Amino acid sequence: MHREGTATRAGVIAAVRGSVVDMRFDGPLPAIHSLLRAGDGGRVAIEVLAQRDAQHVRGIALTPTQGLARGMSVRDSGGPLQAPVGKAILSRMLDVFGNTIDRGPPLDGEANVEWRSVHRAPPPLMQRSTKSEVFETGIKAIDVLTPLERGGKAGLFGGAGVGKTVLLTEMIHNMIGHQQGVSIFCGIGERSREGEELYREMKAAGVLPHMVMIFAQMNEPPGARFRVGHAALTMAEYFRDDEQRDVLLLVDNIFRFIQAGAEVSGLMGQMPSRLGYQPTMGTELAALQERIANTDSGAITAIQAVYVPADDFTDPAAVHTFSHLSASIVLSRKRASEGLFPAIDPLQSSSKMVTPGIVGERHYALAQAIRRTLAQYAELKDIIAMLGLEQLSPEDRKVVARARRLERFLTQPFFTTGQFTGLAGKLVSLTDALDGCERILADEFKDLPERALYMIGGVDEATAKAKARPERGTEPEGQIADEEAHAVDDA
């Protein structure tokens, strides 16, 4: 294929052990990371990971090795694994080799597609932007309490069914529709069902034309799962550096990248480190994460789903991942069951951006006041459950009223769920979100029913909604006429 260099060396297979292949070359050895081809028509791709002696190299197969045998010829492609870049990859679904898996025409026939190595160095410090900027998503709960960093990395923690995919889909929609950016979805060890569903959802939401999806599925060899993140970053770097556009990179799941690295390390015969992880985990993760950065030309902002093994936050995979994140968004099943979407837990989520020097004194003070109010309400829930709301002091009752109104104001109708909820999506600027929270904390809406603040955009919509009779089924569970009387339901 034209994407690979001219074959410069030929050798033979010396041994095959699962995905690990030893090869012998009589002349100069292929370089580390060189892509070799073996089997009928070069169907088996092997990446060189070690030079064992003057004649032998050891590589990991990126494709199944069925049919390989000792003595078979192997040829050097003349370069490393390459990923396609260019405008032609937009709206396409690809695998780690750049082959289309969306039943569309292959990229080889496209004139404006360039192929670049997936192994690239992070941008040097001289090119990086030293200014910390907030990446606005248009989602109130994120922008106010856990603002993302432009060119930063955010971790998204959530189980099944709490709205993780919906949140990612909405961020893609907002990024494309209002910030003229590009979104790249990288599925590492994804189930084929998840990839197919996401493709359909993106197409239905109308965001596919400004998006690239790249997958290494769960049934693929560990080598392919290990390299798909690098391929996605090569594509992201093209849009950042060549087209000078902001890129939103979504990775699901970064733990599976570490897991694939551990499998490759074990197959290569390396001595395992703590809890069986590869000894080079920190280096491998850093090589991937450090390429996610903002430069003078544009920024790659990453949102990564993070699986925490057995909920153990001291697990080496979690510890190494946390050290790279600038924001952590935790989704709560309890909030989802109450109908408070997006189900972001404001007390467990955090962001390094919430400092007076970055977001400003007003935003910082408001974020702290909101957290304090919600934390006080969480402490009072036990008392409300046992003794009732009437037994609280007048000041505590005010805190409960403010907290419940804040919780409802931080909900938001999404564009990508409008077809299911019947509610038009809302994009809320950071200024409007902060203004609404400030007015709620000042008790400006204490006479309005709580339901008026539920699933609105700007806070001024609450007055109009209070006058109109709310539609049945558009409120959180247990939210009827007298909301304060039902505060015990949440406890």
The residues assigned a catalytic role are: 164, 190-191
The strand pair at 134-135 and 247-252 is best described as unpaired
* Torsion angle of C-alpha atoms 293, 299, 305, 308, degrees rounded to 10: 20
The rounded distance, in Å, linking the Cα atoms of 19 and 233 is 25
The strand pair at 134-135 and 148-149 is best described as antiparallel
Answer for the pair 249, 232: CB distance below 8 angstroms, yes or no.
yes
Residues 6+ apart with CB under 8 A from 283: none
CA dihedral sign, ordered 87, 88, 91, 93: negative
Residues 6+ apart with CB under 8 A from 456: 409, 412, 413, 426, 462, 465
Answer for the pair 400, 393: CB distance below 8 angstroms, yes or no.
no
How far from 311 is each of 45, 306, 345, CA to CA, in Å? 36, 11, 16
Angle value at C-alpha 26, between 22 and 29, nearest 5 degrees: 65
In eight-state DSSP terms, residue 177 is: H
Question: E strands along 381-427, which residues?
Answer: none
Answer for the pair 137, 415: CB distance below 8 angstroms, yes or no.
no
